Amino acid sequence: QVQLVESGGGLVQAGDSLRLSCAASGRTFSSYAMGWFRRAPGKERDFVAAIRSSAGNTDYADSVKGRFTISRDNAKNTVYLQMNSLKPEDTAVYYCVTRTYYSRSYRPAAVNEYDYWGQGTQVTVSS
């Protein structure tokens, strides 16, 4: 049974930093893409960042480039999202995702690319 458990969310002020963690269990995740999405109140889920298998290539939404960094520790089956210079518009529930199947194509920002989702962790940024 694959499980993704997020942690590290909270209430911060604009300009602060947070680091989210996602602990994965049930398989060895080093060969799987992993990533983060977020859902702001009243909005659809939006792509934030993704990191591909052990090679570590990364993708970011334009809105977080230069402020957020995704990384992974394959020995710990954990993916991280370092969030700096947070803005009120970053307020959302953040979800960890993984894709455990193989295909020729991979669209990191597509919701339906990922077959497992965590429960989410709330990030609130006050102005």
Place of tokens 């990364």: 58
How many Å is the maximal CA-CA distance in the chain? 43
| pLDDT at residue 55 in the model | 67
Percent with pLDDT over 70 in the chain: 98
Name, in order, each residue with C-beta under 8 angstroms of 71's C-beta and a sequence gap of 6 or more: 51, 56, 79, 80, 82
Give CA–CA dist 31/72, Å, rounded. Answer: 11
pLDDT above 90: percentage of residues in the chain: 87
Look at residues 76, 77, 32 and name the one whose alpha carbon lies nearest to residue 55: 32
